[in-house]
Amino acid sequence: MIKTFSEVLDSLMSELVVRTPFTNLNPTAAIRGLLEVIAKVVSDLYGLMKTVMQQSFVQTATGSWLDLRVREMGITRKTAVKARVYLTFSRNAPAEQNFTIPAGTICKSQKDSSGKDCRFLTVNEAVLEEGQSNVVVEAEAEQPGTDWNVGQDTITRMVTRVTGINAVTNPEGYMIREGSDPESDEQLRQRAIGTWDTLGLGGTREAYRTWALSVPGVIAASVLDDFPFGPGTVGVVILGENGEPSAELINEVYQYIKARKPLTADVRVLSPEIVTINIDLEVTRFASASQEIIEADVINAIVEYSSRLQLGEGLILARLIDAIMDVDGIYNVKILSPANDISVGVDHFLTIDQIDVTHRIKGRSYQDGSIDGSGGDESVAAAEILDVNKETFSIE
């Protein structure tokens, strides 16, 4: 049993009264001060014991303690990875001579809604040759992390001036390798627990899943173990930090699994089939709530809900509505489209693309029932509202 400072002090004073002639235990008494010093040391030892007990098991350890525990199993925390992209440098007309783009040329993405932009540096020197109007150059994010997984056609600003170059962008197919954040405690814990399934002589479903999750940048994986491509075949579907994984990430996962799988297994690592849906909903807000703020908060709530969807997880309307109802100022939510829950296979990943919000106002039912868009389903016609006698405060 872990005791607090007060509990330890009470126990010491009780024992002192029983075992010694001391009776003055007021806060100003010298013996009381000595007991408090002892109680502080003992309570600190209790706290240390609690910490050691908690941090001694993979299921409850955190931070560096968890790193030490999983290291005993031969596992290390996945570190953050820098995003790598292809940038296309171009000019308005074919070059009349060769123009060099130095290694370390800095380009920036457009600012996001929070005013943040991301810097990318070219990896190698490149040359825009005479007669050409563009050249593709590999670049790397300035820092590791998922924040540098910017969208297509967003890296459009050149910080480093390059003679002969007018523009830069990251067109379709620009992503070489997704950036990823350091592995969280919970992700590392689950991977460590799943490692026991990789120690058998064969490759179980959980073993393939754990192997895939061991590669930095993979945030989810599902296994097709019903011979999807013929006898002896196994399909491993992975999801990257940026949704659909890059070809390089798929190859990294394949090479990692190949070195550990049973010799007779034919493994194929796959990108999930992306299922894109649109959301059309009707929001009834209180009259005092701002339409602009409500709409922004609703969209953010849906985006947050979408970001939590896992590989093979469909759309549950009740959960979506629950997420939206947490927005301050909302009275009711009605999902107009889709009309029903959407289920997807284990090799599919659902994303929400377009969000359309229709607004209605919830006013006072007896007063605003006739206001267009009020949603006053509890409205009462004016002729039915009874008059009140102000003299006797009775209903006429």
Distance, CA of 277 to CA of 353 (rounded, Å): 6
CA distance 160 to 138: 15
d(CA 109, CA 93): 24
| Per-residue pLDDT, 162 | 93
Which pLDDT value is given to residue 199? 64
pTM for this prediction: 0.62
Q: Residue with structure tokens 């959980």? A: 206
In the prediction, which pLDDT does 125 show? 94
What angle (nearest 5°) sits at the alpha carbon of residue 44, between those of residues 38 and 47? 145
Q: Could you give the CA distance from residue 332 to residue 284 in angstroms, rounded to a whole number? A: 5
pLDDT on residue 59? 84
pLDDT at 377: 43
Residues 6+ apart with CB under 8 A from 93: 133
pLDDT tens digits, 135-152: 999 999 999 999 999 999
* pLDDT for the residue numbered 382: 40
Task: Quickly state the pLDDT bin for 122 (edges 50, 70, 90).
Answer: very high
Is the pLDDT score of 219 beyond 80? yes
Average pLDDT of the segment spanning 100-113? 92
Percent of the chain having pLDDT more than 90?
A: 51
Q: Mean pLDDT across the chain, nearest whole number?
A: 86
Is residue 395 pLDDT above 50, yes or no? Answer: no
Beta strands 266-270; 233-240: pairing state: parallel
Helix (H) or strand (E) holding 386: none
Q: What residues are paired with 281 via a beta bridge?
A: 335, 357
In order of 73, 77, 189, the CA distances from 63 in angstroms are: 16, 10, 11
372 against 112, higher pLDDT: 112
Residue 24 and residue 58 in contact, taking contact as beta carbons nearer than 8 Å: no
Average pLDDT of the segment spanning 217-244 = 88
Confidence band, pLDDT 50/70/90 cuts, at residue 74: confident
- Bridge partners (DSSP) listed for residue 355: 279
| Nearest C-alpha neighbor of 5 from the set 53, 48, 37 | 37
Give per-residue burial for 41-61: e unless 16+ CB within 10 Å, then b.
ebbeebeeeeeeeebeebeeb
Both tokens assigned to 332:
């009711």
pLDDT at 343: 93
Residue pLDDT, tens place only, 283-295: 999 988 899 999 9
Q: Concatenate the DSSP letters of all residues of 111-144 into one string.
A: P-TTS---EEEESS-EEE-TT-SEEEEEEEESS-
The DSSP secondary structure of 235-303, one letter per residue, reads EEEEEETTBSPPHHHHHHHHHHHHTTS-TT-EEEEEPPEEEEEEEEEEEEEETTS-HHHHHHHHHHHHH
Cα distances (angstroms) measured from residue 166 to each of 135, 275, 355: 12, 37, 36
Rounded-to-integer distance, Cα 380 and Cα 190, Å: 57
pLDDT in tens, 293-329: 999 999 999 988 988 888 889 999 999 999 999 999 9
Rounded distance, CA 315 to CA 306, Å?
9
pLDDT for residue 372 is more than 60: no
The pLDDT value given to residue 338: 94
Predicted pLDDT of residue 192: 86
Q: Report the DSSP beta bridge partners of residue 362.
A: 286
d(CA 227, CA 185): 34
Please say whether the beta carbons of 180 and 206 come within 8 A: no
Q: Is 335 helix (H, G, I), strand (E, B) or coil?
A: strand
CATH (one of 3.30.300, 1.25.40, 3.30.2010, 3.40.50) for 185-271: 3.30.300
- At residue 360, the 3 state secondary structure works out as strand
Q: How confident is the model at residue 99 (pLDDT cuts 50, 70, 90)?
A: very high
β strands within the chain, DSSP E:
84-90, 99-101, 106-109, 119-122, 126-128, 134-141, 155-158, 167-169, 175-177, 218-224, 233-240, 266-270, 273-286, 330-337, 348-362, 388-389, 394-395
Calculate mean pLDDT across residues 98-120.
92
- Tens-digit pLDDT profile for residues 247-261: 999 999 999 999 888
**Torsion (CA) 212, 188, 204, 345 in degrees, nearest 10:** -60
Mean pLDDT check: name the lowest of 46-55, 92-101, 341-350, 384-393.
384-393
pLDDT band per the 50, 70, 90 thresholds, residue 201: low
DSSP state of 177: E
Which region among 94-103, 203-212, 334-343, 367-376 has the lowest average model confidence (pLDDT)?
A: 367-376
Q: What is the pLDDT of residue 135?
A: 95
Token pair listed for 349: 């990943």
Q: How many whole angstroms separate alpha carbon 302 and alpha carbon 346?
A: 22
Query: pLDDT for 338-369, tens place per residue?
Result: 999 999 988 899 999 899 999 999 864 444 44
Inform me whether the pLDDT recorded for 381 exceeds 70: no
> Average pLDDT of 8-33?
87
